[in-house]
Structure 1
Amino acid sequence: MQTLIDYFETISSLHRGLILVGGITVFWLIENAFPLFKFQYNKINHAGINIFFTITTIIINFVMAFILLLAADFAIQQNFGILQWLPEMNIWVYTLVGLLLLDFIGAYLVHLIEHKVKFLWRFHLIHHTDTWIDTTSANRHHPGESVIRFVFTVLGVLIVGSPMWMVFLYQSLSVVFSQFNHANIPLPKKLDKVLSYFIISPDMHKVHHHYKLPYTDSNYGNIFSVWDRIFGTYSYLERGQIIYGVDTHMKPEENNDLSKLLKIPFQKSRSPEL
């Protein structure tokens, strides 16, 4: 475990970038060879739009990374946060508790709030406009949403009181898990079901991308599925019944146009089209 801690304490931007690119590459190859759904789309064009949003997310997180560092340093130096107030425990348990709490605040909670607050939903909506969910959809976040999620990550670091190595470990896991549960891959149904009791499996997350309520407002988690089950936001839908997208923006000429996607948060709210 100490080797893992040492690695993430000093992990370089290059290595963090390689984790992101490596994950996309692996899942891209798998979903091309064994797709869950055989989409009729221009995969390169679709990936180009999503990679644009991925790059803007990387830039925003890189520019603001010093805030995360300050938050983590403050928590450790001032003995502030949940992890700092808990009794001493085994390092594996300490890490698991920290990751669970970071995932709750930095993924589950912010995601749920984005669905419930209309102003924030306008930014998150861009993620849901994707009608061809694959591994590149993982970081399809409007730059405005990337800032919102960063703010919650900082709050998470302060509330949890996590050291910087744990923050980097959490972010790396979060990226890979998001690429995994968005990937257009068919795990055996029984395996997917078992996994969904512990982590966000592909089938579980794809329900969240069904185009209409109540499914859109469910399965908010990113790494751990425990929060959806505890707070009653878990739902299930058979693979064959899932239709990707969001019922207010189902037209391809709009949800597959970068310039139009960037403008959506600044437009009036719409009623469902379907």
Structure 2
Amino acid sequence: METLLNYFETIPAHHRVILIVSGLTFFWILEGILPLFKFKYIKWKHAVPNLFFNLTLLLVNLPLAFLLLKSADWVIITDFGVLNWLPEMPLWIYGVLGLVLLDFVGSYLPHIIEHKVKPLWMVHWVHHTDHNVDTTTANRHHPIESVIRYFFTLLGVIIIGAPIGLVMLYQSLSVVATQFNHANIKLPKKVDKLLSYVIVSPDMHKVHHHYVMPYTDSNYGNIFSIWDRLFGTYMELDTNDIVYGVDVFPDEKENSNIKDLLKKPFQKYRRSAIRD
């Protein structure tokens, strides 16, 4: 764990980019070998808007990385945050606990808030309006959402008292985990179920992308499944019954157009298009 944290403490920006590209490439290939759904789409064409939003995610996160560094340095210097207030513990427990807590504040919490707060839900629509969920969907987030998620991670660093090595490790694992659980891959049911007791498995997350309630408001987790199980937001649905998208935005052509997706958060509020 010490070696791992030391590496991520000084991980170069280009290593992070390589990690994102490598993950996408690996799961992209795996989708062709073990597909869950045989989509009737042109794979590269479907990927274009999703990769555009992957790029905007990088453009938001990389320039703001210094804030994470400053915050992580501050909590260590001032001995602030949950991890710094707990009794001394083995490094591996410290690392796992830090990752689990960062996953709650940096991912689960903002995700559930985005579903419950109407303006934020409209921003989050961009992610949910993909009709063919695959590994490129993982970071299909409107730039506004990327900023929101970033500042929740920043909040997590301060509250939890996480050092920068742990923060960078969490962000790297988060990228790989979300590429994995969005990937259009078919694992043996028993394997997927077993994985879902610890991490968010592909079948578990696909339920979240079902086009109607209450399934859309379930399985918010990113890396760990503990928070969904703990807070009662865990649900199951046979993958054969899953239909991707958002029921009030059924136009697949519009939902594949970058210009339309960028405008989606600013559309006029329609009662039929936002939940009560």
Give TM-score, length-normalised by structure 1: 0.98
CA–CA distance in 1 between the matches of 2:208 and 2:265? Answer: 20
Cross-structure match for 1:182: 182
Cross-structure match for 1:206: 206
Cross-structure match for 2:107: 107
Q: Are 1:227 and 2:207 an aligned pair?
A: no
Q: Which amino acid aligns with 1:25?
A: T
Pairing of 1:83-98 with structure 2 (within 5 A): 83-98=83-98
Q: Which amino acid aligns with 1:39?
A: F
Cross-structure match for 1:44: 44
Cross-structure match for 1:255: 255
Q: Which amino acid aligns with 2:8?
A: F
SS in 2 for 1:248: coil
Cross-structure match for 2:215: 215
Q: Which amino acid aligns with 2:157?
A: V
**What do residues 198-240 of structure 1 show as CA deviations (whole Å, max 9, x unaligned)?**
1000000000000010000000000000000000000000010
Structure 2: state its 5+ residue gaps: none
1:2 is displaced (CA, Å) by 2.0
Pairing of 1:240-251 with structure 2 (within 5 A): 240-251=240-251
Cross-structure match for 1:158: 158
Cross-structure match for 1:24: 24
Q: Which amino acid aligns with 2:257?
A: D
1:272 is displaced (CA, Å) by 5.4
CA–CA distance in 2 between the matches of 1:252 and 1:195? Answer: 32
Cross-structure match for 2:171: 171
SS in 1 for 2:216: coil
**Percent of aligned positions that are identical:** 60
Q: Which amino acid aligns with 1:66?
A: F
CA–CA distance in 2 between the matches of 1:6 and 1:96? Answer: 15
Pairing of 1:112-131 with structure 2 (within 5 A): 112-131=112-131
Cross-structure match for 2:238: 238
1:269 is displaced (CA, Å) by 3.0
Query: For the aligned residues, what is the CA RMSD?
Result: 1.0
* Displaced runs of 4 or more, over 2 A: none
Q: Which amino acid aligns with 2:59?
A: I
Q: Are 1:80 and 2:86 an aligned pair?
A: no
1:5 is displaced (CA, Å) by 1.6
Cross-structure match for 1:14: 14
Give TM-score, length-normalised by structure 2: 0.97
Cross-structure match for 1:34: 34
